[in-house]
Amino acid sequence: MEEINLKEVFEYFKSNIIRIIIAVFVVLIVGNYYSIIIRKPLYKSNTTIILVNEKNNGNYSSNDVQLNKNLVSTYSEIIKSRKVLNTVISVLNLNTSVEALSSQISVSSVTNTEIIKINVSDRNADTAAKIANETAKAFSEEVKTIYNLENVSIVDEAIPNNTPYNVNFMKDNMMYLVVGLVLSLSVVFIMFYFDTTIKSDEVVETKLGLTVLGIVPKED
């Protein structure tokens, strides 16, 4: 394998610095076009509910706690049921399907607690908050119908979060900058590696083993 002279590589990169800058600039433009135009910003809101037992008038036993913990996984499925989501769509007059709305909602339980968190993402921050709150209300009513229980209480209502969770311009631009540098430097290095032209008399002497007898000067 042919040895690579680091000084020659550096000089080659130096002579192509304008191309490298242009390539990085192009990558930044394309990346920001994707971030701003193609990738739509999404906003996330969440509401938390807790399982309680109002029928005991404050007398809360360990059996009640264990029962509610066992119901958390079941309740998580009911939250995303067709009946609950249809109610949300009807009340908020949403122009969407049950399947599409279900994909916007995620349900999680806080470890070792009776708290359930309903997360909703949407392209509109206000709509995300409204969906989260209405889902909690519809779910509470559905539990009353199915189990004849009133053991769901809302801890925190969702509020609009105007900061998109899937967009970070600082982080994105740093990534585009690194990608642009890596790509441009890689292309320039490949160009250098396969460049067989002779650029100086030193190349003739070192690589070809010939003695230079004369040089035609370059004149601007």
For β-strands 105-109 and 152-156, DSSP reports them as unpaired
Each residue's pLDDT, cut to its tens digit, for the chain (220 residues) gives: 456 667 777 888 888 899 999 999 999 999 988 887 888 889 999 999 987 765 544 444 555 555 556 667 788 889 999 999 999 999 999 999 999 999 999 988 877 777 889 999 999 999 999 999 999 999 999 888 887 877 788 899 999 998 888 888 888 899 999 999 999 999 888 888 877 666 666 666 666 666 666 666 767 6
DSSP string, 122-167: ESSHHHHHHHHHHHHHHHHHHHHHHH----EEEEE------S-TT-
Per-residue pLDDT, 47: 94
| Domain coordinates in residue numbering, the chain | 6-38+167-207, 43-156
Q: What's the pLDDT score for residue 29?
A: 93
Contact of 119 with 46, CB cutoff 8 Å: yes
d(CA 69, CA 61) in angstroms, rounded, equals 13
Q: Which token pair is 55?
A: 């029928």
The residues with which 118 forms a beta bridge, in sequence order, are 47, 107
Domain range 43-156, CATH architecture = 2-Layer Sandwich (3.30)
pTM: 0.64
Contacts of 83 (CB under 8 A, 6+ apart): 142
Residue 51, helix vs strand vs coil: strand
How many whole angstroms separate alpha carbon 196 and alpha carbon 125? Answer: 58
Tell me the two tokens of residue 44.
């996330």
Specify the pLDDT at position 92.
94
